[in-house]
A = this chain, B = another copy of it.
Amino acid sequence: MPKSRPPTIADVARHADVSIATVSRVLNGTTPVQADKADRVRLAMEELQFVPRHAARVLASKRTNTIGLLLPEISGDFFSPMLKGIEAAAHEAGYDLLVHSTQQVEAARRRLGEHNTDGLLIFTNSLAPSELHRLHSFNFPVVLLHQTPPESLDIPVIAIENKDGAAMLIDHLIKEHGRRHIVYLRGPEGHEDSVWRERGYREALEVHNIGFDSELIASGGFDDEEAFTAIQGLLAEGIDFDAVFAGDDDAAIGAMRALKMAGHRVPQEISVVGFDDVPFARYLSPALTTVRAPIEQVGREAVRQLTRLMNGEHAETLTLMRTELVIRESCGCLSSGTNGQEESTRR
């Protein structure tokens, strides 16, 4: 009882009557140790309530066993499932997770960059390209989420199949509901997801021999309000359309509101579809037809690729996660009771 300091590996060694090297070995399982000694060590650790100092291990071994997650901001329906996937996969792989919402890159770099982390997960553009270059220049493990690297640096990317998803949606509107004048509400300027969704939109039109009409493109900003305004604008201009692909679910809400307010019936007169399948999509009335992205899987996959990199293996340059059509009511498909049952098509 005399000493009050928390036990160190040396205390354990003394207690078990072995060297500290041996204790370290049973702790890490790096080298076989005689069974009886190993047992003594384990017992001693138990009795002394020994908890190894992480910092000391890192310093000595030069491996931090930690991965850093850098994101622009914590919010929205995207964030929670993605973090869930990342957290789970990271811990399964034996890594701890350091989370940094990037405001001051400098601070983040100091703590999350090289030396202090074994690898970095970077969501959208939360890190300056120059930093990306720097890290890449000495092969620091980095994986990008929902963002392609600048200037074709070969940094692995995980993203979702925006193009396919959008094409499925548009295809459905055309084939099942005979829509031909479909509005597309773009997301924020420079948003990669938006660009790909638009590409899917165009390709689907082409497949069905429907000409692209720039009058049908407006800016929805992936945002409720902005989409609301955009649709009001289109209506005011007297543009003729029979469906709206809102870019994402938030914008779909705004679009629906604007249409209803103007006295148009959704989906009888005009179909509205979103993208993302956020939790409340099913609770809208009419329930929203949209595309579901496997966000949690994106997180897991990102960690998987990152661990590869950290192990010196080769990682996939681009991983596109499949998206899935979620058909509800807002496209014009029939509601199946108030329960909002849904049909979904894999692709």
Contact = CB atoms under 8 A, between A and B. Distances in A.
Interface of A: 6, 51-56, 58-59, 64, 73-77, 79-81, 83-84, 87-88, 91, 96-101, 103, 107, 109-111, 113-116, 253, 257, 260-261, 279-280, 283-285, 337-339
B107 A52 contact: no
B257 A115 contact: no
Given A114-B51, A338-B260, A103 B79 contact: no
- Count this chain's copies in the assembly: 2
A100 B88 CA distance: 9
A116 B53 contact: yes
Contact of A253 (B74, B76, B283): B283
A101 B79 contact: no
B51 A55 contact: no
A260 B339 CA distance: 10
A115 B53 contact: yes
B80 A75 contact: yes
Contacts of A116: 51, 53-55
A338 B266 CA distance: 14
B59 A110 contact: no
Given A51-B113, A91-B100, A97-B99, 12 more contacts: A51-B116, A53-B116, A54-B55, A54-B115, A55-B58, A74-B80, A87-B100, A96-B98, A96-B100, A98-B98, A257-B338, A283-B284
Contacts of A103: 91
A32 B134 CA distance: 33
Contacts of A113: 51
Contacts of A56: 55, 59
Contacts of A59: 53, 55-56, 59
Contacts of A257: 338-339
A99 to B, nearest CB: 5
Contacts of A84: 73-75, 101
17 contacts: A6-B115, A51-B115, A51-B116, A53-B116, A54-B116, A55-B59, A55-B64, A56-B59, A75-B80, A75-B84, A87-B100, A96-B111, A97-B98, A257-B338, A260-B338, A283-B283, A283-B284
Contacts of A285: 285
A53 to B, nearest CB: 5
Nearest to A284: B283
Contact of A74 (B58, B83, B261): B83
Contacts of A52: 110
B80 A101 contact: no
Nearest to A66: B98
Nearest to A76: B80
Contacts of A83: 74, 83, 99
Nearest to A261: B338
Nearest to A104: B91
